[in-house]
Chain A
Amino acid sequence: DVVMTQSPLSLPVTLGEPASISCKSSQGLVHSDGNTYLNWFRQRPGQSPRRLIYKVSNRDSGVPDRFSGSGSGTDFTLKISRVEAEDVGVYYCMQATRWPITFGQGTRLEIK
Protein backbone atom coordinates (compact mmCIF):
# COMPACT_ATOMS: atom_id res chain seq x y z
CA ASP A 1 0.00 0.00 0.00
CA VAL A 2 1.10 3.59 -0.60
CA VAL A 3 1.82 5.30 2.72
CA MET A 4 1.11 9.04 2.82
CA THR A 5 3.05 11.01 5.44
CA GLN A 6 2.10 14.58 6.23
CA SER A 7 4.04 17.18 8.16
CA PRO A 8 3.61 19.02 10.33
CA LEU A 9 0.66 17.42 12.13
CA SER A 10 -0.12 20.69 13.90
CA LEU A 11 0.28 24.09 12.28
CA PRO A 12 -0.34 27.26 14.28
CA VAL A 13 -0.33 30.26 11.95
CA THR A 14 -0.76 34.01 12.43
CA LEU A 15 -3.55 35.58 10.38
CA GLY A 16 -2.19 36.95 7.12
CA GLU A 17 0.92 34.79 7.24
CA PRO A 18 1.68 31.94 4.80
CA ALA A 19 1.30 28.26 5.62
CA SER A 20 2.70 25.14 4.02
CA ILE A 21 1.89 21.45 4.47
CA SER A 22 4.07 18.67 3.15
CA CYS A 23 2.83 15.29 1.96
CA LYS A 24 5.25 12.50 1.04
CA SER A 25 4.24 9.22 -0.55
CA SER A 26 6.09 5.94 -0.13
CA GLN A 27 5.86 5.31 -3.88
CA GLY A 28 5.67 7.50 -6.95
CA LEU A 29 2.12 8.59 -7.80
CA VAL A 30 2.25 8.80 -11.58
CA HIS A 31 -0.53 6.63 -12.98
CA SER A 32 -0.10 4.60 -16.16
CA ASP A 33 -2.39 7.15 -17.85
CA GLY A 34 0.17 9.86 -17.11
CA ASN A 35 -1.84 11.62 -14.41
CA THR A 36 -0.85 12.03 -10.77
CA TYR A 37 -3.91 11.50 -8.59
CA LEU A 38 -2.92 13.48 -5.53
CA ASN A 39 -5.72 15.47 -3.89
CA TRP A 40 -5.97 17.79 -0.90
CA PHE A 41 -8.99 18.08 1.37
CA ARG A 42 -9.96 20.32 4.24
CA GLN A 43 -12.35 19.27 6.99
CA ARG A 44 -13.92 21.86 9.22
CA PRO A 45 -15.38 20.82 12.59
CA GLY A 46 -18.69 19.04 12.17
CA GLN A 47 -18.42 18.89 8.39
CA SER A 48 -17.47 16.31 5.79
CA PRO A 49 -14.13 16.69 4.05
CA ARG A 50 -14.15 19.05 1.10
CA ARG A 51 -11.77 18.67 -1.82
CA LEU A 52 -9.63 21.75 -2.45
CA ILE A 53 -7.02 20.58 -4.93
CA TYR A 54 -7.05 17.68 -7.40
CA LYS A 55 -4.34 16.13 -9.51
CA VAL A 56 -1.61 17.93 -7.56
CA SER A 57 -2.28 21.52 -8.56
CA ASN A 58 -5.83 22.06 -9.83
CA ARG A 59 -8.05 24.17 -7.59
CA ASP A 60 -11.65 23.15 -7.21
CA SER A 61 -14.43 25.58 -8.05
CA GLY A 62 -14.88 28.17 -5.33
CA VAL A 63 -11.48 27.58 -3.72
CA PRO A 64 -9.66 30.89 -3.21
CA ASP A 65 -6.51 31.43 -5.24
CA ARG A 66 -4.50 31.81 -2.04
CA PHE A 67 -4.51 27.99 -2.03
CA SER A 68 -2.00 26.26 -4.30
CA GLY A 69 -0.75 22.73 -4.73
CA SER A 70 2.54 21.60 -6.18
CA GLY A 71 4.92 18.69 -6.31
CA SER A 72 5.82 15.61 -8.26
CA GLY A 73 7.06 12.08 -7.77
CA THR A 74 6.75 11.45 -4.05
CA ASP A 75 6.83 15.00 -2.62
CA PHE A 76 3.82 17.28 -2.62
CA THR A 77 2.94 20.56 -0.94
CA LEU A 78 -0.17 22.56 -0.16
CA LYS A 79 0.45 26.27 0.35
CA ILE A 80 -1.79 29.01 1.64
CA SER A 81 -0.35 32.40 0.73
CA ARG A 82 -2.12 34.37 3.47
CA VAL A 83 -4.06 32.48 6.11
CA GLU A 84 -7.55 33.68 6.93
CA ALA A 85 -9.75 32.68 9.88
CA GLU A 86 -11.96 30.50 7.65
CA ASP A 87 -8.95 28.31 6.77
CA VAL A 88 -8.98 26.66 10.20
CA GLY A 89 -9.50 22.91 10.01
CA VAL A 90 -7.73 19.64 9.33
CA TYR A 91 -6.04 19.18 5.96
CA TYR A 92 -5.54 15.76 4.41
CA CYS A 93 -3.64 14.64 1.33
CA MET A 94 -4.86 11.57 -0.50
CA GLN A 95 -3.59 9.43 -3.35
CA ALA A 96 -5.92 7.65 -5.75
CA THR A 97 -3.27 6.49 -8.22
CA ARG A 98 -3.26 3.01 -6.73
CA TRP A 99 -5.88 1.08 -4.82
CA PRO A 100 -6.14 0.94 -1.88
CA ILE A 101 -6.65 4.68 -1.87
CA THR A 102 -4.74 6.12 1.08
CA PHE A 103 -4.83 9.32 3.10
CA GLY A 104 -2.28 11.22 5.12
CA GLN A 105 -2.72 11.53 8.89
CA GLY A 106 -4.06 15.07 8.67
CA THR A 107 -2.60 18.46 9.60
CA ARG A 108 -4.54 20.63 12.02
CA LEU A 109 -4.26 24.30 11.09
CA GLU A 110 -5.10 26.74 13.85
CA ILE A 111 -4.79 30.48 14.29
CA LYS A 112 -2.12 31.63 16.77
Chain B
Amino acid sequence: EVQLVESGGGLVQPGGSLRLSCKASGFTFDHYGNYGVHWVRQTPGRDLEWVSGILWNRGLKGYADSVKGRFAISRDNGKDSLFLQMNNLRADDTALYYCVTDREAGGMDVWGQGTTVTVSS
Protein backbone atom coordinates (compact mmCIF):
# COMPACT_ATOMS: atom_id res chain seq x y z
CA GLU B 1 0.00 0.00 0.00
CA VAL B 2 1.28 3.43 -0.93
CA GLN B 3 1.68 5.60 2.17
CA LEU B 4 3.41 8.69 3.45
CA VAL B 5 4.18 8.94 7.14
CA GLU B 6 5.02 12.28 8.72
CA SER B 7 6.67 12.86 12.07
CA GLY B 8 8.36 15.59 14.04
CA GLY B 9 5.47 17.86 14.97
CA GLY B 10 4.91 19.19 18.45
CA LEU B 11 4.51 22.21 20.69
CA VAL B 12 7.16 24.89 20.33
CA GLN B 13 7.54 28.45 21.58
CA PRO B 14 7.55 31.40 19.19
CA GLY B 15 11.01 31.78 17.71
CA GLY B 16 11.75 28.09 18.13
CA SER B 17 12.57 25.39 15.59
CA LEU B 18 11.22 22.02 14.51
CA ARG B 19 12.22 19.50 11.87
CA LEU B 20 9.49 17.54 10.14
CA SER B 21 10.15 14.23 8.40
CA CYS B 22 8.21 12.28 5.79
CA LYS B 23 8.90 8.68 4.87
CA ALA B 24 7.51 6.90 1.85
CA SER B 25 6.14 3.39 2.23
CA GLY B 26 5.08 1.04 -0.56
CA PHE B 27 6.93 3.11 -3.15
CA THR B 28 10.02 5.26 -3.44
CA PHE B 29 10.20 8.98 -4.12
CA ASP B 30 12.92 8.22 -6.63
CA HIS B 31 10.52 6.09 -8.70
CA TYR B 32 8.50 9.24 -9.39
CA GLY B 33 11.60 11.39 -9.37
CA ASN B 34 10.57 13.61 -12.27
CA TYR B 35 7.81 15.03 -10.14
CA GLY B 36 7.39 16.91 -6.91
CA VAL B 37 7.11 16.17 -3.22
CA HIS B 38 5.51 18.84 -1.09
CA TRP B 39 4.59 20.10 2.33
CA VAL B 40 1.04 21.42 2.58
CA ARG B 41 -0.41 22.76 5.80
CA GLN B 42 -3.96 23.06 7.02
CA THR B 43 -4.70 25.88 9.40
CA PRO B 44 -7.10 25.61 12.33
CA GLY B 45 -9.59 27.43 10.09
CA ARG B 46 -9.29 24.51 7.61
CA ASP B 47 -7.55 26.50 4.86
CA LEU B 48 -5.02 24.52 2.82
CA GLU B 49 -1.71 26.26 2.10
CA TRP B 50 1.17 24.91 0.05
CA VAL B 51 4.31 25.51 2.09
CA SER B 52 7.15 24.10 0.03
CA GLY B 53 7.96 21.62 -2.69
CA ILE B 54 10.92 19.93 -4.28
CA LEU B 55 11.29 18.33 -7.69
CA TRP B 56 12.83 15.11 -6.44
CA ASN B 57 15.44 14.33 -9.09
CA ARG B 58 16.45 17.84 -10.00
CA GLY B 59 16.37 19.15 -6.45
CA LEU B 60 14.61 22.33 -7.50
CA LYS B 61 12.86 23.89 -4.51
CA GLY B 62 10.05 26.34 -4.00
CA TYR B 63 8.55 28.10 -0.98
CA ALA B 64 5.48 30.07 -0.09
CA ASP B 65 6.28 33.72 0.61
CA SER B 66 5.03 33.26 4.17
CA VAL B 67 7.86 30.82 4.99
CA LYS B 68 10.67 31.94 2.69
CA GLY B 69 13.88 32.48 4.62
CA ARG B 70 12.58 30.57 7.66
CA PHE B 71 11.82 27.08 6.33
CA ALA B 72 14.06 24.78 4.32
CA ILE B 73 13.01 21.66 2.44
CA SER B 74 15.47 18.85 1.84
CA ARG B 75 15.58 15.21 0.85
CA ASP B 76 17.62 12.12 1.56
CA ASN B 77 17.53 9.76 -1.41
CA GLY B 78 19.19 6.96 0.52
CA LYS B 79 16.57 7.06 3.27
CA ASP B 80 13.74 7.90 0.87
CA SER B 81 12.77 10.73 3.14
CA LEU B 82 11.69 14.33 2.89
CA PHE B 83 12.35 16.95 5.55
CA LEU B 84 11.18 20.41 6.47
CA GLN B 85 13.41 22.45 8.76
CA MET B 86 11.29 25.16 10.33
CA ASN B 87 13.06 28.02 12.11
CA ASN B 88 11.88 31.21 13.76
CA LEU B 89 8.41 29.75 14.13
CA ARG B 90 5.44 32.06 14.60
CA ALA B 91 1.96 31.57 15.97
CA ASP B 92 0.51 31.63 12.46
CA ASP B 93 2.63 28.58 11.54
CA THR B 94 0.34 26.55 13.79
CA ALA B 95 -1.22 23.93 11.53
CA LEU B 96 -1.47 20.30 10.53
CA TYR B 97 1.41 19.67 8.13
CA TYR B 98 0.89 17.14 5.34
CA CYS B 99 3.50 15.49 3.17
CA VAL B 100 2.11 15.13 -0.37
CA THR B 101 3.63 13.55 -3.43
CA ASP B 102 3.03 13.69 -7.17
CA ARG B 103 2.98 10.44 -9.11
CA GLU B 104 2.58 12.44 -12.26
CA ALA B 105 3.01 16.11 -13.09
CA GLY B 106 0.84 18.33 -10.92
CA GLY B 107 -0.58 15.24 -9.22
CA MET B 108 -0.68 15.89 -5.46
CA ASP B 109 -2.34 12.49 -5.35
CA VAL B 110 -0.83 10.83 -2.27
CA TRP B 111 -1.25 12.52 1.12
CA GLY B 112 0.04 11.52 4.51
CA GLN B 113 -2.01 11.73 7.69
CA GLY B 114 -0.22 14.87 8.81
CA THR B 115 1.76 15.98 11.84
CA THR B 116 0.58 18.81 14.08
CA VAL B 117 2.70 21.86 14.80
CA THR B 118 1.59 24.20 17.56
CA VAL B 119 3.47 27.43 18.15
CA SER B 120 2.54 28.94 21.46
CA SER B 121 4.12 30.35 24.60
Contact = CB atoms under 8 A, between A and B. Distances in A.
Interface of A: 1, 31, 33, 35, 37, 39, 41, 48-51, 54-55, 60, 90, 92, 94, 96-97, 99-103, 105-106
Report the contact-size class of chain B (Cβ under 8 Å from the partner).
Answer: 20 to 34
A54 B107 contact: yes
19 contacts: A1-B65, A31-B106, A39-B108, A48-B111, A48-B112, A49-B48, A49-B98, A51-B109, A54-B106, A96-B105, A96-B106, A99-B53, A99-B62, A100-B50, A101-B38, A101-B50, A101-B108, A102-B50, A103-B48
Contact of B111 (A50, A55, A96, A106): A50
A106 B106 contact: no
A35 B40 CA distance: 23
B13 interface: no
Given A103-B49, A105-B47, A96 B113 contact: no
A55 B106 contact: yes
Interface of B: 38, 40, 46-50, 53, 62-65, 98, 102, 104-109, 111-114
Given A99-B62, A101-B38, A51 B47 contact: no
A58 to B, nearest CB: 10
Contacts of B48: 49, 92, 94, 103, 106
Contacts of A54: 104, 106-107, 109
Given A48-B98, A100-B62, A101-B38, A35 B106 contact: yes
Contacts of A33: 105
A100 B47 contact: no
B108 A94 contact: yes
